[in-house]
Amino acid sequence: MDRLTAVVLAAGEGKRMRSRQPKVLHPLCGRPLIAYPLRTARALADRIVLVVGPNAADVVTLAGPDVRAVVQRERLGSGHAVLQAKSDCGDGTILVLPGDMPLLSVETIERLVDHHRKSRAAATVLTALVAEPNGYGRVLRQGGRVKRIVEDRDATDAEKKIAEINTSVYCFAAARLWPALGKVRPDNDQGEYYLTDVIGVLSRAGARVDAVLTPDPGEAAGVNDRKQLAEVAAVQRRRILDRLMEGGVTILDPATTYIEDGVTIGPDTTIHPQVVIEGESTIGSDCVIALGCHVSSSHLADRVTLKPYCVLSESAVDDDATLGPFCHLRPLSHVGPQAKVGNFVELKKSRIGRGSKVPHLSYVGDATLGEEVNVGAGTITCNYDGVAKHETKIGDRAFIGTNSSLVAPLTVGEGAYIGAGSTITKDVPPGALAVGRGHQVVKDGWAARKTKQREEHRG
């Protein structure tokens, strides 16, 4: 069986990005650009070779151990880049994928590979018919066959009118590629070894060179600068939303909804406008995510309601819980089933048990709350003494009166009560009442005496 090796090109300098980090590490809908061709390569190829530039250790790490990385020490062009992969490729078919075209679909590449294998061509180019071919290499044909590719900057005015462009995705018969690549010369405007010139070399030698047109020219959009990054992201974002809607998710306003590629959402969940969901978040079914929520790397079970403007990161929320409006779950928070976290509540590294309520204006940090606990408005866990963080434990069915300060480390036993306005510094046994506040003093008739004194002073 003919083996397929994917060579992913990611050594280009990405000058037009004007960035300190390699172009292929820039994120697109939550994944670095390089993740997209690697995903395609994994779906189709037997072996993956990644060509990176110098100082690209981060790219290599991100690619993973199943990818062979080779370094192109000098950036002498896309042809030179492919040549660096030669000793890692072996025989069979070589599929070249650019690192900067994340919209290419697996189906399109599969069509290219199938065509190439059936036709037994020496090379097959994936091309696209585009309305604005400026900047792309143009495909020159003769009698239907591909003759050569001319780069935009080397093209004549007549050639620039050609609308069929080179996508930079190719299949080659390995046995034909390497000798042809050896014949490529850097005699062009940039003084580079162009992979595109292999097409002309093969065709002049009488080899068969085919082209396969992408059904959707939009797939051929490359990311060379930040404007293109934004344009491509807009297309990818819409694809993600379409996939979710096809799976039964209601998205009220796709134009203002930002959901990253790694997110999964169950059917009959409704997403309101201006929602952002990032990372590897999972959302169950029958949830409501209301206006302006920002959910990052978090897990929501089924029938969870996020009222407007909740911010969640690295947290989990169990079935039937209700959050917000305006609450903040910081990392490692866990809200149990049927629990309620209300407005202006901040949780950090805390667990709220089944059916417990923290309805208003609280800070709960490094705390574990049992079931059916009620935390009154304005309650604060004082978890930090300026040096270390300390834990608070609150047993099942405890009742914390409003505006209490719980000074950790602290344990409040099951069913205990804390009087409103208390500062609690010592553990409270189960079932006890703890009150820690100044005693109220009442002075009868005080106001009248005060008025009288004032009048005497004036007289």
Q: How far is the CB of 58 from ligand UD1 (least distance, A)?
A: 15
The greatest distance separating any two alpha carbons of the chain, rounded to the nearest whole angstrom, comes to: 121
State the burial class of residue 34 (Cβ atoms within 10 Å of its Cβ: 0-12, 13-18, 19+). Answer: buried
Give dist(CA 326, CA 361) in Å, integer. Answer: 10
Selection from Ca ion, ligand UD1, none that 228 binds (CB < 5 to 8 A by kind) is none
Q: Residue with the closest Cβ to ligand UD1? A: 137
Burial track 267-302 (b if 16+ CB lie within 10 A, e otherwise): eebebbebbbbbbebbbbeebbbbbbbbbbbbbbbb
Binders of ligand UD1 among residues 361 to 390 (CB under 6 A) are none
One-letter identity of residue 139? V
- Is 360 among the catalytic positions? yes
Residue 100 CB, shortest distance to Ca ion, in Å, is: 5
Q: Which is nearer to ligand UD1, 105 or 282 (CB)?
A: 105
List the catalytic residue out of 80, 115, 360, 439: 360
Give which of 78, 60, 307, 97 is closest to 219, Cα–Cα.
97
Work out whether 137 is an interface residue with ligand UD1 (CB under 6 A).
Answer: yes
- Residues in region 344-403 near Ca ion by CB under 5 A: none
By CB under 5 A, residue 53 contacts Ca ion = no
Should residue 356 be labelled a site residue for ligand UD1 when binding is judged by CB under 6 A?
no
Residue 92 interacting with Ca ion (CB under 5 A): no
Taking CB under 6 A as the rule, does residue 168 contact ligand UD1?
yes
Smallest distance, Å, CB 95 to ligand UD1? Answer: 14
Binding string to ligand UD1 for residues 37 to 76, with x set by CB under 6 A, is what? --------------x--------------------x--xx
Using the rule CB under 5 A, is 266 a contact of Ca ion? no
- Please say which residue, 37 or 355, places its beta carbon nearer to ligand UD1: 37
| CB of residue 133 to ligand UD1, shortest distance in Å | 9
Task: Give CA–CA dist 394/371, Å, rounded.
Answer: 9
Interface with ligand UD1 in residues 77-96 (CB under 6 A): 77-78, 80-81
220 or 424: whose CB is closer to Ca ion?
220
| Residues 315 and 278: beta-carbon distance below 8 Å | no
Q: Where are the beta strands (DSSP E) in 238-315?
A: 250-251, 258-259, 264-265, 270-271, 276-278, 282-283, 288-289, 294-296, 299-300, 305-306, 311-313
Q: At what angle do helices 196-204 and 174-182 cross, to 10 degrees?
A: 100
**One residue of 151, 260, 318, 320 binding ligand UD1 per CB under 6 A:** 151
CA 348 to chain centre: 23
Select 14 or 376, whichever has its Cβ closest to Ca ion.
14
Handedness of CA 350, 356, 295, 380 (dihedral sign): negative
What does each C-alpha distance from 402 to 358, 359, 374, 398 come to in angstroms? 11, 11, 10, 13
Structure tokens at 40: 């395609």
Q: Which residue has the tokens 């667990």?
A: 351
Residue number, 222 or 365, with CB nearest to Ca ion: 222
What residues make contact with Ca ion under the rule CB under 5 A?
100, 222
Active-site positions read: 360
What residues make contact with ligand UD1 under the rule CB under 6 A?
9-12, 51, 72, 75-78, 80-81, 98-100, 136-137, 149, 151, 165-168, 194-196, 222, 224
